[in-house]
Structure 1
Amino acid sequence: MARVWVCVGGAVFLLSCLVLHSCYSGSLVSRTFAFYIPWRKEDTLFRLDLGWPKYSEYFTGSTFSVAVDSLNGLVYVAQRGDNIPKVLVFTEDGYFLRAWNYTVDTPHGMFVSGTPYEQSVWITDVGSGAYGHTVKKYNSLGDLVQVLGTPGKKGTGLNPLQFDNPAELYVDDTGEIYIVDGDGGLNNRLVKLSQDFLILWLHGENGTGPGKFNIPHGVTLDSVGRVWVADRGNKRLQVFDKDTGEWLGAWDNCFTEEGPSAVRFTPDGKYLIVAQLNLSRLSILVAPPSGSIGDCSVVSTIQLADQVLPHLLEVDKKTGAVYVAEIGAKQVQKYVPWHSHAPAFGA
């Protein structure tokens, strides 16, 4: 019996040390960690990297999105606020490199695409200023290269193309672009553009039926040619054929409490990482094989502190690290695969 109490006392002491460490290394909001204690060791897939970023003081606004340049080991963060840089650039190790603020009004979603020789940073801008209601392409130094949509004018039109609160986009390896347009506002649609910015297909109607949306908030592709959309207001993920736009099905059984706000695949294609904003939760779902998508299955969750509010996320295609933009905590946090050597707190 004495040994049991010694073990219990040791466990309590260790937990107390961890809590004290978190308090003195930063507030629970600025350095939030998850008390995620799975009952089965194999369920522990990710853990928090406490060493990223090296200095969180660079986050001076509300962090809405994050994008990763896996080829060059760079992490881009988009934040909102007055008189602050809207885009921050870090190394994958957490060192701050630079910031830029050119022609970015109110950033929402972000994506990085390119080759080893040229990188493009895409930003959806939901502001009401001269560059608002657009999807914009920048080079890695922040120079504006391309504007999609009608700057400063929201709308539903397709010729010329107009947006209203475009939430996020995804650019595949061929240069084709998938945009979810409708984080509240006039539109609830998914638009596919060619690399020359021609409309290839779209689903564009508000509703609850197949192919209809209520606040489409996130979009990504899997390795077998399917487009996945976080249909937040309808509490489901919808799936479409990449080439034809055909509706392939939906997952709603995993989202009874709240709909998904973001979705990404792990590099090996085995799992989907999903964020649920108001629940302050990340869920890891089993990815389906080619063919029927079947039913949704959760294999692991990471419960964040209250009001952290994970908004959008990105997965490093090379390392598998998950970066989460948290608008409540006003920070970006990095979660690494369990076998990573990064300093972390986990179960």
Structure 2
Amino acid sequence: MIYIYATILSVALMFFSECIRKNERLRCYRICSAYFAALSFLPLALVSGFRYYVGTDYGAYESMFRYGVSDGIEPGFELFVNLLKGIFDNPQSFFFFSSIWICGLLFVAAYKHSAHPFYTVLLFVITKVYFVSMNAVRQMMAASIILLGMKYIRERKLLAYTAVVLVAASIHRSAAFLIVLYFLYSFKTSFKKYVMLGAFSVVFGRYIVAGLVWAIKKYTSYGRYFSSNYNTGDASFGFMLIFACMFALMVYIYEKNREDNIVRYVLNIVALCLIISMFSGSFPENFTRIIWSLMIVVIVYLPYCTGKIPSSIIRIAGNFSVVAAFSVYTIQMIRNGNQEVLPYVFCWQ
């Protein structure tokens, strides 16, 4: 229940912030709006920051803090841990400040770039990104840094965005993959291209995936994940269905707004997520977490995209479908033990 209470409070405070920002007749409306936006990030950040042995990887990160990071860990993350160890003795400080980092950057991006920040906050939880951030801490710290580079993508400043990606990759190497976001923004889409890409994926995808699996096992340290207890070898049909429906919704929105760069951008990201989900059974869950790194960008811009639906009835139905589908999927996954965030325990209990 703690997650539900924190989500309701965060969404309500951000909604209040949004209402104030639209009321320009109110004196100091910008300051008041920013104040309530800052307050809105606290419930979710503090729930994550004060958790105790909640999450699949809690023990691993606690061990890193106590005994030092292992060989091969990215230098930026090692610096982050060493700075905390130099100030604090308690490993709880790591979970507190990493949560402030992830939630803080997400809420700042929502406030600055989302058409409806409160909707982005809701999506942060129901799309499972929030719960993934309690486990894939390094990866989500890196992905949240990418949010700082979104303006460089829109302004077509490749060198500046590359610098952001390099900083993010110093926290987790997977962030290097997110350089693709720069090129997805300018990729010209069409239904024909997606049909061809889908057909190519169906025919040749399994061979490409088999090659990737072989290369990962042979040449990287990530091969150990294939023997993990979390590698079920099964692709989630529900997972694919959600992204297939999101893709259909984005195609509809794109057909109504073909000249809109943001709409095209989100459509391309969702299409990539759909393709990755199709082959999710070939990789351990650790690898398919890259989808959630992509989704952290989608949840910022999706409220803008659904707002471009001309029909109010279809717009309401589209938003309801997205919220309902992700809510049902995430609740089911969490109740089944995914991410191991239940039961929740405070660090002082």
User: TM-score surpassing 0.5?
Assistant: no
RCO comparison, higher one (Cα < 8 Å, 6+)? 2
Q: Report which of the two has the higher share of helix.
A: 2
TM-score (norm 2): 0.28
